[in-house]
Every structure is written in C-alpha cells, then in structure tokens.
Amino acid sequence: MARDRLAAMRAQRQGTGPQSPTSPIEMAGLQSQDRITNGNGAGSTPSSDPMAAFYTEINGILDTIRQFEDHVSRISDLHSRTLNTMDDALSQQNHAVLDELVADTRNISNQLKTRIQDLEKQPAPPGQDARIRKNQTSLVKTKFLEALQSYQQVEQQYRARYKQRVERQFKIVKPDATPDEVAAVVNDESGSGSQLFSQALMSSTRYGETRAAYREVQERHEDIRKIEHTLAELAQIFNDMNLLVVQQDDTINAIETSAAQVEGDTEAGLGHTEKAVKSARAARRKRWICFFLFLTILAIIGIIVGVTIGTRK
C-alpha cells in the first residue's frame, strides 16, 4: 500500500497523475494574458506574453513544494511506525519504503533548488514585470526554505527519539549503566558504544531479551546514521540557498542603485533643460525689449531733429 501511494505521487509529479486545481498565481497569469489581449485589441496568443512561461514555472514549483511537504509528512509517519512496531518483517518493510521515500524526497529538494536558482539567473525584463518576478521568486524561495526547515525539525525530532530508544534498550541489558556509558552507546563514537554493549551482553543472564535489545540498538544506530546524513544534505541546501539569496540581493541592490542613479540623472537633465528653455525665452524677451527701446530712441531722435530743423526755418 505504501509503495503504491509513493508510485502514485511520483506519477503525479511527472505529469501523469491527476492535475491540481488552478492556483491563485495561475489565475494571475491568465488575467495578465487577458489584459494583454484586451490592450492590444489584436487577440494575442498566450505564448506572446513573456511572463506566461514565468507564471507556469512558478506554479510548477509551488506544486512540487506541496509534494515535498507531503513526502515529509509521510516520512514522519513512517518513522513513527518504525519506532512502534515489534514485528521484524513489518519493520523491514517500513525501512524499505522509508529509504525509497527519503531518496525521492532528496531528488525533489535538489530539483527545487535548481529550478529556483534558474529563476534567479533569468534576466529581469524592464518595467513592472521585474518587480513581479522578484516578488514571486522570493515567495517560492521562502516556501521552499520553510519546507526544508520543517523536514529538518522532523528528522531532528526522530533522531532524538531513536537515541532515547537506544538508551532504554541498553538499560535493559545493563540497568546500572553510568551516564558516560549510556552516552557512549547512544552516540557510538569510534565503535566504543558497540564494545560496551557487547560486554554488557556477556554479563547479562537474560540472553533472549538482551539479544533482541542488541539487534534493535544496531537498527536504531543505522536509522540515526541515515538521519544525520539527511540533515547534512539539508544543511548544504540551506547554505546554497542562503548564498543565492545574498548574491541575488547584491545584484538587485546594484540594479536598483543604478536605476535610481539613472532616474536622478534624468530628473537633473530635465531640470537643466527647463532652465535652458526659460533662459532662452528670457533672452528672446530681452532682445525684443532692446529692439523696441532702440526704435523708440530712433523715433525720439527723429522728432527732435525734425523740430529743430523746423524751428530754424
């Protein structure tokens, strides 16, 4: 049953399963296409919208994040079953399904990281679309990081529970174990924990019970090792995404600073142009004033000369 569900989820992720309902972002993409069609009046096709592919990828990433979260929920459930089952055959089956699910979840997380990085690397178009791209990319990145953090918390929680189970099993074999011995067995650093457990087995009088405890401790150590490997991978993805955030923020800040500079230079240029226009108008006005003054002076001189000549006659 668990394998069938996992196969169905894989088929859905590959596009062969049931399709998810239209999301708000898909609706936004369709509305954007409608606006372009209405604005042009020529009935543009969706492929002519440069943002259509972007919205499609955003929705695809959000769908994949939801699948990732569903995987994490099932991983938590399988961890719980593994801890609570006493049937060896069922435990082995749970381990097999869990290993397959963890591997599939790892592939999904790497796929999401690559797709979000590809979005970040795409050149931003001019105008309002650049801000839309930035906001939507930031949205899917935040959701992905939140899903990763949730996965980390699940793995850390069950690592602690597995260690508690190892501690209980060791105390069954050696009830008078010291805290240092318990810590050595739980952490099993450099194989010292296994040696202590083997020594406790030899001195125990409850052979059947202690052998079962030893077998479970070995299984739990393997579970803990796998969890720590997964946590290391998640930490690496976190580092990659945080580095991407810093680099992208620096790039965006540089672009915004450059845009602000250009805007400031443009405004300054417009100011200088307006001043030049005003100066030119003032100069023309002054030239006309001077011309009329010159004509007035000539008229006055002509009148004076005429009067003077008339008087002499």
- Burial (CB < 10 A; 0-12, 13-18, 19+), residue 217, is buried
The DSSP H or E segment spanning 298 is helix 207-312
pLDDT of residue 201: 63
Q: Residue 149: which of 88, 92, 69, 203 has the closest Cα?
A: 69
* Structural contact between residues 238 and 148, judged by C-beta atoms closer than 8 angstroms: yes
CB 197 within 8 A of CB 183: no
| Total domain count, the chain | 1
Let me know if residue 135 belongs to a domain. Answer: yes
Q: Which domain holds residue 227?
A: 51-247
Tell me what pLDDT residue 278 has: 73
Q: Does 205 map to a domain?
A: yes
| Residue of 156, 7, 145, 6 whose CA lies nearest to 71 | 6
In this prediction the pTM is: 0.62
Give 105-111's long-range contacts (Cβ < 8 A, gap of 24+). Answer: 105/68, 105/71, 105/72, 105/75, 105/151, 106/230, 106/233, 108/13, 108/64, 108/67, 108/68, 108/71, 109/68, 109/148, 109/151, 109/233, 109/234, 109/237, 110/237, 111/64
DSSP letter at 17 equals: S
| CA neighbor of 72 nearest in space, from 144, 165, 172 | 144
pLDDT in tens, the chain (313 residues): 555 555 555 555 554 444 444 444 444 444 444 443 343 433 334 445 768 889 999 999 999 999 999 999 999 999 999 888 877 788 889 899 999 999 999 999 999 999 999 988 887 777 788 888 989 999 999 999 999 999 999 999 999 999 998 888 878 777 777 888 788 878 876 555 666 666 666 666 555 566 777 778 888 888 999 999 999 999 999 898 877 554 445 444 554 555 455 455 556 556 655 676 677 677 777 777 776 777 778 777 777 777 777 776 6
Provide the pLDDT for residue 218. Answer: 81
Domain-located, residue 68: yes
Distance of CA 186 to the CA centre of its chain: 36
Residue 199 covered by a domain? yes
**For residue 85, is it within any domain?**
yes
Decide if 306 is inside a domain: no
Tokens at 18, concatenated = 């049931």
- pLDDT attached to residue 299: 74
Output the pLDDT for position 196: 65
What CATH number should be reported for the domain holding residue 229? 1.20.58.70
177: left (phi over 0), alpha (psi -120 to 50) or beta: beta
